[in-house]
Chain A
Amino acid sequence: MNKLLYIFFAVLMCSVTMAKAQSNTYMTYSMGFGMGDLGDFISKASFRGAAIDYRKMIQPNIGVGFNLGWNVFYEEKSYDTYEYKNQALSGKQYRYSNNIPMMINADYYLNPGEKVSTFFGLGTGVAYTRRNTDMNLYTLEQEGWNFSLAPEIGLQFNNNISSATTIMLKYYYGFKAGDFDAAQSYLALNVGFVFRQP
């Protein structure tokens, strides 16, 4: 919980101290593609997700801020038999994974004043992961607060001085934590609007 408080205050301080600076606020629809352990658990891509990103421009080509996202992975498994030692259980499984990354980010904009601006950066923070395996009337719930890194790359299409559209690719890597004995990672493809504060 302390980690969250640090992040919250850091974001707050950034917002307060640089309130007069130029900023970009990204509201994006997010698609997720599970990788590693998450991809093994749910092989289907997620089309349920959203993210809010905020960057204060501390230099014309450097922005710092935060990223808050939510990706819901879901897969209905067909009827199958799961074996463990001398036991076997057959049925349909409904698998869910809610991934909520909370990051502090820094981005570098290659050509900030131009019509199309390319940027790349890194985020660090925590991701709350809640995995549910539903079978019969019961659910197996696993939770974790994963320390996370999230490199990202994106394009920003500047429509005018106050708005833009964006497409960005983020790779969330949450180190193993809580009930998870493996890292939770996925690619997120985000598209959406940018509100620019000149």
Chain B
Amino acid sequence: MNRYLTFSLLAILTGFGLAGCYPAGPDYTEDLDVVYTTFDDEFDFQGRGTYAMPDKIVTDVQITNSGDTIYEYMKPVYADQILARIDANMSALGWNKVDINAVPDVLLMPGAISSTTYFYSYWYGWWYGGYYGGWGWYYPPSYTVSSYTTGSLIMTISDPNIDSPINKSATAWIGVGNGLLTSSGNVSRALESVDQAFQQSPYLKTN
């Protein structure tokens, strides 16, 4: 009998041991940051050299009941740093920034969006037996709600001079930095994602 008891205990301990040492994964928020880039492989980046870029970063667009479009912008204290970092990277790749009225070869459009995902669950407490006997449950049920918010910084490059039947330019390059948002008010992770997006896009280098 003792042998089987020892055997069972060992099996249980092994189970707990395995569950306890299961690999945990990421430790810090920035461990989840990713940067994605893609480009149109028929677009001639080398043959172009000037770009224009807005001095604001759109974070949301609202269309009112009257049909007006209202843009929401990132606060300048953050946006200016990001725009300056984009300029620095473009300059390092040989591009010259010009005014939008100077007919630039390409437009670089930055944007930022956030998305919140909610988890929602509830359950009933229940009892069996006791003073009243039989089955029953407590009311109301318990609720739990949790959420996470991710943010993306999106940069696109397109040539506004290419004629198109729908008056829209196809995107020649997209760079996206994505990660979990925190309330730190620190844009260093966004700046790093800008650097990384250009670093992994060497084909943007112009003559």
Chain A: residues with CB nearer than 8 A to chain B?
25, 27, 48-50, 52, 70, 72, 74, 76, 81, 83, 86-92, 94, 96, 134-137, 162, 193, 195
> How long is the Cα–Cα vector from A74 to B36 in the complex, in angstroms?
24
Contact with A along B15-31 (1 / 0, CB 8 A): 00110011101100001
Which residue on B lies nearest to A48, using beta carbons? B21
Task: Decide if B34 touches A136 in the complex (CB within 8 Å).
Answer: yes
Task: Decide if B3 touches A89 in the complex (CB within 8 Å).
Answer: no
Measured between beta carbons, the chain B residues less than 8 angstroms from A25 are 7
Stretch at the interface among B37-45, B48-56, B91-99, B129-137: B37-45
- Least distance between A130 CB and chain B CB atoms (Å): 13
User: If A27-B7, A162-B3 touch, does A96 touch B178 (CB 8 Å cutoff)?
Assistant: no
> How long is the Cα–Cα vector from A88 to B201 in the complex, in angstroms?
8
> How long is the Cα–Cα vector from A94 to B23 in the complex, in angstroms?
10
Which of A27, A49, A96, A136 lies in contact with B11, CB distance below 8 A? Answer: A27
Number of B residues near A (Cβ < 8 Å) is 31
Q: A70-B18, A86-B39, A91-B34 are in contact. List 5 more A-B contacts (CB 8 A).
A: A25-B7, A48-B21, A86-B38, A94-B26, A136-B34
- Least distance between A183 CB and chain B CB atoms (Å): 24
> How long is the Cα–Cα vector from A91 to B37 in the complex, in angstroms?
12
> How long is the Cα–Cα vector from A113 to B73 in the complex, in angstroms?
82
Task: Decide if A195 touches B32 in the complex (CB within 8 Å).
Answer: no
Which residue on A lies nearest to B117, using beta carbons? A137
> How long is the Cα–Cα vector from A135 to B26 in the complex, in angstroms?
10
Task: Decide if B23 touches A96 in the complex (CB within 8 Å).
Answer: yes
Which of A89, A96, A137 lies in contact with B36, CB distance below 8 A? Answer: A89
- B33 CB-CB contact with A under 8 Å: yes
User: If A72-B23, A96-B23 touch, does A88 touch B180 (CB 8 Å cutoff)?
Assistant: no
- B10 CB-CB contact with A under 8 Å: yes
Task: Decide if A86 touches B41 in the complex (CB within 8 Å).
Answer: yes
User: If A27-B11, A87-B38 touch, does A48 touch B180 (CB 8 Å cutoff)?
Assistant: no
A-B contact count (CB 8 A): 69
Which of B35, B38, B41 lies in contact with A91, CB distance below 8 A? Answer: B35
Task: Decide if B18 touches A90 in the complex (CB within 8 Å).
Answer: no
Measured between beta carbons, the chain B residues less than 8 angstroms from A90 are 34-36, 196, 200
Task: Decide if A134 touches B34 in the complex (CB within 8 Å).
Answer: no
Measured between beta carbons, the chain A residues less than 8 angstroms from B26 are 92, 94, 134
- Least distance between B116 CB and chain A CB atoms (Å): 12
- B188 CB-CB contact with A under 8 Å: no
Task: Decide if B23 touches A74 in the complex (CB within 8 Å).
Answer: yes
Measured between beta carbons, the chain B residues less than 8 angstroms from A91 are 32-35
Which 10 A/B pairs are nearest by Cβ-Cβ distance? Answer: A91-B34, A74-B23, A87-B38, A136-B34, A90-B35, A88-B200, A94-B25, A86-B41, A50-B14, A88-B37
Task: Decide if B32 touches A137 in the complex (CB within 8 Å).
Answer: yes
- Least distance between B16 CB and chain A CB atoms (Å): 11
Which residue on B lies nearest to A81, using beta carbons? B200
Task: Decide if A48 touches B14 in the complex (CB within 8 Å).
Answer: no
- B150 CB-CB contact with A under 8 Å: yes
Give 12 pairs: A residue, B residue, CB < 8 Å, sorted on A: A27-B10, A50-B17, A50-B18, A70-B18, A74-B23, A76-B25, A87-B38, A88-B36, A89-B35, A90-B35, A134-B25, A137-B148
